[in-house]
Amino acid sequence: MKNPIEKNLEVIFDETFTGYISVMITVFCGILALLVASLGLFITCNFDKETNTVKLSRYRWFGTLGKTVVQYSLNEITDVKLERIDTSIDEYFFRVILVLESGENLPLTPNYTSNYINGDSIVRVTKDFLELKHKDSAR
């Protein structure tokens, strides 16, 4: 203390700057999470036995950058499979596809994944719904 006669001492500790930094980091992380979530391709598949159609909708950025919708008759679907690709490190990646009479393959999942069990369960449920025969789903 400069003057020992003073009877009061006031200490002000201001953490406003730390608060600003915390808010900025939180906002940045929130925006980054939104960007990561929205950059992916979303596929919605709707099987409807009443109208005998399957409708595939593909979109990015929650549909704001456009949405592609294709529709097929359920009668055109000949199989539901796990499409398998091999990598150079003896690992496999899978995605679920619909096989049409024309030979066209329609992916039901946007990306390949190493999760065989999840893909196989999608194949089995879809085949049960469409009343298709079960075979080994990975080709």
CA distances from 102 to 56, 73, 77, 82, 90 (A): 17, 12, 9, 18, 32
Task: For the chain, give the mean pLDDT.
Answer: 81
pLDDT-derived band at 100, boundaries 50, 70, 90: very high
* Chain segment 29-71, per-residue pLDDT in tens: 988 887 776 666 778 888 999 999 999 888 876 666 677 888 9
Residue 136, pLDDT above cutoff 60 = no
H and E: helices and strands count for the chain: 2, 6
